[in-house]
A and B are shown apart, each in its own frame.
Chain A
Amino acid sequence: MNNSEKLYQAMLTNSLQRVVEEIHLLEEQRGTLSSMVKGTDEKIERLRVEATRIQEELKSRENATQYGGNVVATLDTAMTALTSKEQELSDKLKRLEALRRTTTTKRGNKKLNRAIYKARKRDLRMKKIVRATNQIQRVMIMPRQALAKWRTRKVAKVQGKYNYAENKLQEYNQKGALSTLEGLNRAKMIRKRERALEKLRSLQRKGVTNRILGARQMNVNRTQTQNLRNQQQPQNQNTQPMTPPQQVPIQMPPRDDSITAESLARENTTAPTTQVSQTLSKAA
Chain B
Amino acid sequence: MEDNKITLTTLDNKQIEVEVLDIFNLEGYPGKDYIMYTLGEQVSEDNEKVYISILKEKDNDNYELVGITDDKEWEDVYQAIEEEMKSGEENE
Q: Which residues of A does B touch, CB under 8 Å?
A: 186-192, 195-196, 199-200, 202-204, 206-225, 227-229, 231-234, 242, 244-246, 248, 250-253, 256, 258-259, 261, 264-265, 269, 272-277, 280-281, 283-284
Contact = CB atoms under 8 A, between A and B. Distances in A.
CB-based closest 5 A-B pairs: A214-B67, A245-B40, A275-B67, A284-B12, A187-B76
Interface string B1-41: 11111111111111111111111111111000101101111
A218 B36 CA distance: 10
Contacts of B12: 258-259, 280, 283-284
Nearest to A187: B76
Given A227-B88, A250-B39, A272-B75, A199 B65 contact: no
B59 interface: no
Interface of B: 1-29, 33, 35-36, 38-43, 46-53, 55, 61-69, 71, 74-81, 83-85, 88-89, 92
Contact of B64 (A186, A189, A190, A213): A213
A119 B10 CA distance: 89
Contact of B9 (A195, A211, A231, A256): A211
A200 B22 CA distance: 9
Given A188-B80, A208-B8, 8 more contacts: A196-B24, A202-B61, A208-B7, A215-B65, A216-B74, A272-B71, A275-B68, A283-B12
Most B-side CB within 10 Å, residue of A220, A234, A244, A275: A220
Contacts, number: 231
A256 B50 contact: no
Contacts of B2: 242, 248
A245 B38 contact: yes
B20 A220 contact: no
B21 A275 contact: no
Contacts of A221: 46-48, 85
A190 B26 contact: yes
8 contacts: A190-B25, A195-B23, A211-B10, A214-B69, A231-B22, A275-B68, A283-B11, A284-B12
A208 to B, nearest CB: 5
B4 to A, nearest CB: 5
Contacts of A229: 4, 19, 21
A216 B76 CA distance: 13
A238 to B, nearest CB: 14
Given A189-B80, A284-B11, A215 B67 contact: yes
A261 B7 contact: no
B15 to A, nearest CB: 6
A214 B66 CA distance: 5
